């Protein structure tokens, strides 16, 4: 398998929001590649988290890649504000972009952010193929391995069929998995071909978060030795 490099992305949803800058620095110092930022609007999902003002505040304290996962009903409304705030990646959900994904991807790219598309557990993987193959393709697919909305849920192993299908079709695509990833589930995700690993509760809840980050990376490297 032609692999792509591992990116370990602690989900800051599980961090201490009152100390976000320090938590971000701690994760990067422990070896994280990206910081995963969960933006929720209380409408697309039944939870409300952070938005552009928090990204803007955090950006003043870190140069890290901010991997923003937009769980919102109207992603187009967020592009300019997230770009201005300093987001690095902008991953929207395919379920709310069936009509306007081409325009949306173009707009994300025009701001300099990196476009990605996410899909919920109930969404067939075929729905994202046109977005990967378009003239303005997305650069990452995020496969949700829990129902979006909350951290700390149980990994859904049957989502690995989607990851395998994507990896077989797109050997160099960044494929991210999000939800319930940790030491007991990473091998399944890595073997299926995921290279971008989001992990919230398993990292922040560990006595030694750095050990979990290293273990996640080692599993991806072992499964994809060409990286
Ligand atoms: O998008 C998300 C929830 O919708 C989070 O990124 C995800 O749940 C990470 O948390 P954990 O690793 O604890 O499952
Ligand atoms: Fe997420």
Task: Indicate if ligand 1 lies below 6 Å from the C-beta of 217.
Answer: no
Q: At what angle do helices 20-29 and 52-59 cross, to 10 degrees?
A: 60
Q: Compute the distance from residue 136 Cα to the ligand 2 centre, in Å.
A: 23
The confidence score (pLDDT) of residue 1 equals 41
Q: Would you say residue 1 lies in a domain?
A: no
The confidence score (pLDDT) of residue 3 equals 55
Q: Would you say residue 160 lies in a domain?
A: yes
Please list all protein residues whose beta carbon sits less than 5 angstroms from ligand 2, which is an ion. 38, 69, 178
Q: Would you say residue 49 lies in a domain?
A: yes
The confidence score (pLDDT) of residue 227 equals 45
Q: What's the angle, vertex CA 72, arms to CA 69 and CA 74, rounded to 5?
A: 120
pLDDT tens, position by position, 40-67: 999 999 999 999 999 999 999 999 999 9
- Burial of 98 from C-beta contacts in 10 A (0-12 / 13-18 / 19+): exposed
The confidence score (pLDDT) of residue 126 equals 98
Q: How many domains does the chain fold into?
A: 1
Q: Would you say residue 43 lies in a domain?
A: yes
The confidence score (pLDDT) of residue 97 equals 98
Residues of the chain with pLDDT under 70: 1-3, 225-227
Domain residue limits at 178:
7-223
Q: Would you say residue 2 lies in a domain?
A: no
Task: Indicate if ligand 1 lies below 6 Å from the C-beta of 93.
Answer: no
Nearest ligand, CA 150:
1
Query: Which CATH number fits the domain that encloses residue 99?
Result: 3.20.20.70
The confidence score (pLDDT) of residue 162 equals 98
Q: Would you say residue 32 lies in a domain?
A: yes
Q: Which residues contact 89 (CB under 8 A, 6 or more apart)?
A: 34, 65, 66, 67, 68, 113, 114, 115, 116, 140
Based on the residue annotation, tell me whether 178 is a catalytic residue of this protein: yes
Q: Would you say residue 40 lies in a domain?
A: yes
Helix ranges restricted to H, the chain: 20-29, 52-59, 79-85, 101-111, 129-133, 160-169, 186-192, 201-204, 209-223
Based on the residue annotation, tell me whether 211 is a catalytic residue of this protein: no
CB atoms within 10 A of CB 214: 14
């Amino acid at each position: 398998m032609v692999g792509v490099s591992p990116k370990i992305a602690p989900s800051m949803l599980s961090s201490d929001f009152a100390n976000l800058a320090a938590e971000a620095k701690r994760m990067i110092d422990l070896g994280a590649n990206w910081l995963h930022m969960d933006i929720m609007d209380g409408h697309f999902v039944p939870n409300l988290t952070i938005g552009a003002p928090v990204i803007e505040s955090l950006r003043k304290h870190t140069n890290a890649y901010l991997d923003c996962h937009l769980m919102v009903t109207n992603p187009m409304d967020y592009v300019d504000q997230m770009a201005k705030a300093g987001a690095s990646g902008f991953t929207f959900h395919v379920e709310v972009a069936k009509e306007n994904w081409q325009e949306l991807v173009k707009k994300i790219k025009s701001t300099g952010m990196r476009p990605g598309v996410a899909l919920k557990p109930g969404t067939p993987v075929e729905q994202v193929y046109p977005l990967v193959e378009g003239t303005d393709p997305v650069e990452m697919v995020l496969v949700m391995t829990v129902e979006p909305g909350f951290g700390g849920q149980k990994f859904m192993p049957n989502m690995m069929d989607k990851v395998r299908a994507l990896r077989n079709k797109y050997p160099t695509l960044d494929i991210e998995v999000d939800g319930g990833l940790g030491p007991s589930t990473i091998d399944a995700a890595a073997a299926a071909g995921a290279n971008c690993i989001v992990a919230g509760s398993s990292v922040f809840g560990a006595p030694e978060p750095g050990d979990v980050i290293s273990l996640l990376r080692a599993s991806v490297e072992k499964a994809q030795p060409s990286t």
